[in-house]
Structure formats: C-alpha cells, structure tokens
Chain A
Amino acid sequence: IAGITQAPTSQILAAGRRMTLRCTQDMRHNAMYWYRQDLGLGLRLIHYSNTAGTTGKGEVPDGYSVSRANTDDFPLTLASAVPSQTSVYFCASRMNRENNSPLHFGNGTRLTVT
C-alpha cells in the first residue's frame, strides 16, 4: 500500500544522545515535511523539503536537522536530545508545495527524552 513509513514507532532516549527518525514515502511526492505534535498545541513545522536536494526551516527548527538526498527519504536528526524534544513526530508529504493536494502523514514516532 502506497504511503509514508516512519521508524521507529516509539523510542526512549537519554538526554544528550543522538537520534535519527526515519521517513520514507513511495508516492513520488516532491514536498516532504516534519512536524511535532504536543498536547494542547497544533502540529508545528520543524523542517521541510520542497524537492530532493533542498531543505528549509519551519516554525521550530532549533535542535533538529534534516537531509533530502533523494525523493523518497527525509530523515530527521536530533544531534543532542533534550527533554523538551519529548513529543510525537509526524512525517508528511504532498505532490508539490503549491497545489491543493492533501498532506499524507505517517503514523508518527513517539519520542521520550529522559
């Protein structure tokens, strides 16, 4: 079934450790996004990529980095995790950033930083 795959599903991480959240899509979408979802807050954009080879900063980029080496993969890296990065992380994609197509989301990675 076409869609977005995120891994891992959940993770407990010690503060100060490095962690990469994986995201792969098989829909050949150009635009990809990383969001975090916290209780009482709407989904907030961390980083985005409008096409392979390009990335941009979203609303809450500090402490995170991304890369987009190809169309399908968009990993999110926490270089040195802090407790405030405890959240549920969603990867999403859509065909292009300008059109009206919906975002397709993965099922999220629940990250706890202790």
Chain B
Amino acid sequence: KNQVEQSPQSLIILEGKNCTLQCNYTVSPFSNLRWYKQDTGRGPVSLTIMTFSENTKSNGRYTATLDADTKQSSLHITASQLSDSASYICVVTWDTDKLIFGTGTRLQVFP
C-alpha cells in the first residue's frame, strides 16, 4: 500500500536552534517528493521539490534531502525563526500524477 509517514508529529524548539523533520514513504513508482509549509489558517505553500536523481536541495534556511534507496527524505531548518512555526507536509507524487500527502509535522518555535 502506498503510504507517506512523517515524524515527529509535533516539535517544539527555541528560536535560533536547528531541527530536522522526517518523511518516509512506500510509494511506487516514485516520481518526486515535495515539502510544503502550512501556516495556521492558510493553505500549504511549496518549499522545495526533490526528484529521483537529487540528494540535497536548499531554499534559504531550508535544506531537503532525499535517499531514494531507503525511501526517506528530511527537511532541515537552520537557525529557526518564529515565522517557521507551521505545519510541514511531505507530498509524494507517484505514477506521474497521483499525490499522497503525509499527515504533517507541527513545528512550534518559541522565543
């Protein structure tokens, strides 16, 4: 069964600290993996996309990794800011155009 699992479910960190969010998937055939950020009361917004051949990609303080062999991805946030408080959703595309959403990690950054 195609699944996307994210961990942890929730995370609390202090401003300025780093954190890493995990996404494991059992999806075939894999097309790509995308991370979205969802602020409270808003729709998700794309942060980055990882294709099969990419291992690492950065978008400012966000760095995504992909290990296609172990079917794992991570999202690393460096020097967290209060505005990073949000839910982060991992979405895997399979069979060209079908999407599976993870349940998300809720991150809270405190001063």
Contact = CB atoms under 8 A, between A and B. Distances in A.
B75 to A, nearest CB: 15
Chain A residues touching B, range: 10 to 19
Chain B residues touching A, range: 20 to 34
A98 B44 contact: no
Interface string A20-41: 0000000000000000000011
Contact of B42 (A97, A100, A107): A107
Mostly, the A contact residues are: loop
Nearest to B39: A107
B106 to A, nearest CB: 11
A45 interface: yes
B102 A92 contact: no
Interface of A: 4, 40-45, 90, 92, 97-98, 100, 102-103, 105-108
Interface of B: 4, 31-32, 34, 36, 41-46, 49, 51, 89, 91, 93, 96-97, 99-104
30 contacts: A4-B43, A41-B103, A42-B4, A42-B89, A42-B100, A43-B44, A43-B89, A43-B101, A44-B101, A45-B99, A90-B43, A90-B44, A92-B43, A97-B97, A98-B96, A98-B97, A100-B31, A100-B32, A100-B49, A100-B93, A102-B49, A103-B36, A103-B44, A103-B99, A105-B45, A106-B43, A107-B42, A107-B43, A108-B42, A108-B43
